[in-house]
Amino acid sequence: MIKHGPCIALVGAPNCGKTTVFNWLTGSRFKTVNYPGATVEYALGSLQPALGSGLRFMDTPGVYGLNPKSADEEVTYRALFDRDGVVRVDGVVVIIDGTQLQRHLPLVLTVLATGFPVMVVATMADLLAREKLKVDWAVLSRDLGVEVIPFEGLLGGGLTQVIAAAKRLPPRSVVRPPSTQLVDYQQRAGKLVRAAMKDVEDFAGKQRHLTATTRRLDRIFLHPFLGLLLFFLIMSGLFTSIYSLAQPLMDAVDWFFSTAGDTVRSLAPEALWSDFAARGVIASFGAVLVFVPQIFILFLGIGLLEATGYLARAATLIDRPLSALGLTGRSFVPLLSGFSCAVPALMATRNIPSRRDRWITNFILPLMTCSARLPVYALLLSFLFQDRPAWQAGLALTVLYVGAMVVGALTASVLNRFIAKDEASRLLMELPLYRRPRLRVTVRQAMTRTWGYVRRAGPVIFVIAVLLWWGSNFPNYDLPDQGVKLEQSYAGRAGRWLEPLVRPLGVDWRVGVGLISAFAAREVFVSTLALTFHTTNEDEATQTQGLLQAMKGATFADGRPVFTPASVVGLLIFFMIAMQCMSTLAVAVRETGSWVFAWSQLISFNIVAYVLAVVAVQSLRLLGW
Amino acid sequence: MQKQSLSRFVVESLEGPPALVERLGEMGFFPGVVVEMGKRLPFAGPWILHLESTSFALREEEIAALKIRSL
């Protein structure tokens, strides 16, 4: 627990460079703190040791003012003013964009009126220097009555002055939420800016020059046709990079854990402990970690697009299509993140101001094809297209992705009919200047997000996988025949009990056990199948190869194959739509504050998935597949 | 809205739902500021406009709250 020194909150508009300052101050080492009893989370970090000690900093979601209009802004408001918050804020650094003084100064004045000890950090000092926009910070500081420190985010210029000024902040006394009219602040801001910029010549010309590159790029990226085309190309590029980059990594992880497991097993081939270690513990770790490359690459890709400023343009381009579904461009980034993992995506909807838009977006989010579905799709598609050219499997995968989006769009438009629009449904998108992303920071951010995922979902998946190992090996562990042992195990009994439900899907109880396990976490499906179908045939390079072999030979009692094109398509459809993830359920409850929401999501998606899968299987069977 | 590219306007006042007006104000759109109108995205999409050194994308109903006069 970070305890030392006063806590200074960083407050500022979106895109002002606030998080960059936070990262410089804390060395990107921070904890995410949960506000008790609510969905609030904010980042808390200590001053990094190389720069000193005795100060803590809190990063808050970007705000345009202190009258909250979205869940995100609510977080900042409560962090500042709630009496029984997690941490008491002792001072505020208002971060403003040095190239946007007129627009950002009113926020400074608003915060000043609250009574907090305040200092100001003006970012983009490098841009100001480049354009020879000489702002007289001393004059501004004098007029405001607080310290104003210019800062440049690329190399951290100004950081020591920022820290020194933060240490000079007086102790806090009484604070209260602001109440004055915004318009007064706006007029005062105008006067302040004119005083601070009185030595600047040709301000308009310099501002035009500052925005020249961005405007030129926007002529392309926001072009009526070229813009949309580029959007599709960029998004396709993002997703195909998963297959070219992530798949080899996923294969490597798969191979590593199989080999590790086999090695451990060979140490004591008959012992219980080695079986548990290899097939229980090691295989479970493998189940958690195999899709991490995929999640990381998507977070990295999205992070890079966001850092360049492109995502705001993407959200703008997609606003009109989304409005046909009753949503706005603001739902785009969370939905995109859902392709990596629904858990952070659900949290990303906090900056959607309209409650009803946020609700609908949260509802359809699990339909976005998350990383956990990939191992399942990969296995089933490998089986389906095993003797076919690779591009066919690739095409099928694309169809699955697009199909899920179509189902999401349909669901959204249906919900749109039934839930009245609220007047907060807005776009109001700020399009920041294009900038070159800082690779190291973005990589580190992607790693933090990926790790956050592993930490949250990892234990759940691990526990389930171990339980499955236990459930499929007991009570008759010592039976020599693996098949009989499995049938008589607890997992086997549960599977048999469910068999009537999975028969219409064209599969048997062994897949049934897999489906039950998938309800807790999708990726466990593959390792469960490995348990329920895998023979002791160990001479395949990876677990997947062995499993594919086993699947080919799997039959019902009467000799009919379990895995036919019909049954595999049924499984694919089921996984495409069904909501199967305890982590998502838990976060959905937390984010929406409603068990009703989460359970209705779970039940409706799973019923629809089941029905559609059964229809598909039975129809395909009639066609002879 | 007329389809003009890059024309400069002064915001005279803001009229509309109070929450929208307040939010526009917080983002920097208030009486006296100069905005440059950009183009509108196809199929009745959002408008692009420029204020100081930032661009914005606003929907038709959001821009309608800005009462402007051409410079």
Burial class (CB within 10 angstroms; exposed 0-12, middle 13-18, buried 19+) of B30: buried
ipTM above 0.95, yes or no: no
Q: Is the pLDDT at A540 greater than 80, yes or no?
A: no
Q: What is the DSSP letter of A17?
A: S
B59, A102: Cβ pair inside 8 Å?
A: no
Neighbours of A535 (CB within 10 A): 12
For residue A317, list chain B residues with Cβ-Cβ distance below 8 A: 41, 45
pLDDT at B63 over 90: yes
pLDDT tier, A536 (very low <50, low <70, confident <90, very high otherwise): very low
Backbone φ/ψ region at B34: left (φ over 0), alpha (ψ -120 to 50), beta: beta
Asked whether the beta carbons of residue A426 and residue B20 sit closer than 8 angstroms, the reply is: yes
- Strands (E) across A125-265 are located at 148-150
Report, as an integer, the average pLDDT of A13-34.
Answer: 83
Q: Do A427 and B17 touch (CB under 8 A)?
A: no
Q: Which of A108-117, A271-280, B14-23 has the lowest mean pLDDT?
A: A271-280
> For residue A220, what pLDDT is reported?
95
pLDDT over 90 percentage in chain A: 39
pLDDT surpasses 80 at A242: no
Span B50-60, pLDDT tens digits: 998 899 999 99
Q: Starting from the edge strand earliest in sequence, which strands make up the sheet with A429-431, in order?
A: A429-431, B54-58, B47-51, B34-40, B7-14, B66-70
Question: Position of tokens 């002792």?
Answer: A90
Nearest CA in chain B to A128: B53
Query: Sign of the C-alpha dihedral, residues A40, A46, A47, A48?
Result: negative
> CA B59, CA A328: separation in Å to the nearest integer?
10
Least CB-CB distance to B57: which of A69, A215, A429? Answer: A429
Instruction: Kindly state whether B2 is in contact with chain A, defined as any CB-CB distance less than 8 angstroms.
Output: no
CA pair distance A195, B31, nearest whole angstrom: 20
pLDDT on residue A534: 64
pLDDT of residue A568: 94
Chain A residues with at least one Cβ partner in B under 8 Å = 64-65, 67, 69, 99-100, 102-103, 106-107, 182-183, 186, 190, 207, 210-211, 214-215, 218, 222, 224-225, 227, 312, 316-317, 319-320, 323, 328-329, 423-424, 426-433
- Tokens at A118, concatenated: 């305040």
Q: Is the pLDDT of residue A244 over 80?
A: no
Do residues A8 and A169 lie in contact, with contact meaning Cβ atoms separated by under 8 Å? yes
- A427–B27: do the CB atoms touch at under 8 Å? no
Query: Are B44 and A190 a contacting pair at CB < 8 A?
Result: no
- What is residue B37's predicted lDDT score, i.e. its pLDDT? 92
Cross-chain CB nearest to B53 (options A207, A227, A429):
A207
Q: What is the pLDDT of residues A391-440, one digit of tens each?
A: 888 889 889 999 999 999 999 999 999 998 888 889 999 999 998 888 88
Do the beta carbons of residue A369 and residue A401 sit within 8 Å?
yes
Confidence band of B4 (pLDDT split at 50, 70, 90): very low
> Which residue from B20, B2, B5 is spatially nearest to A427, judged by alpha carbons?
B20
How far are the Cα atoms of A612, A613, A624 from residue A618, in angstroms, in the given order? 10, 9, 10
Give exposure, A418-453, as e/b (b: 16+ Cβ within 10 Å). eeeeeebbbbbbbbbbbbebbeebbbebbebbbebb
Rounded to 5 degrees, φ, ψ at A57 are: -125, 145
A575 vs A74, A413, A518, A570, A623, CA distance in Å?
Answer: 36, 22, 9, 9, 22
pTM of the model: 0.86
Tell me the pLDDT tens digit for each residue of A115-171: 999 999 999 999 999 999 999 999 999 999 999 999 998 888 999 999 999 999 999
A385, HSE (Cβ side, Cα atoms, 13 Å): 16
Question: CA A580 to CA A373: how far, in whole Å?
Answer: 10
Q: What is the pLDDT of residues A42-65, one digit of tens each?
A: 788 888 888 888 899 999 989 999
Interface touch A102/B33, C-beta < 8 Å? yes
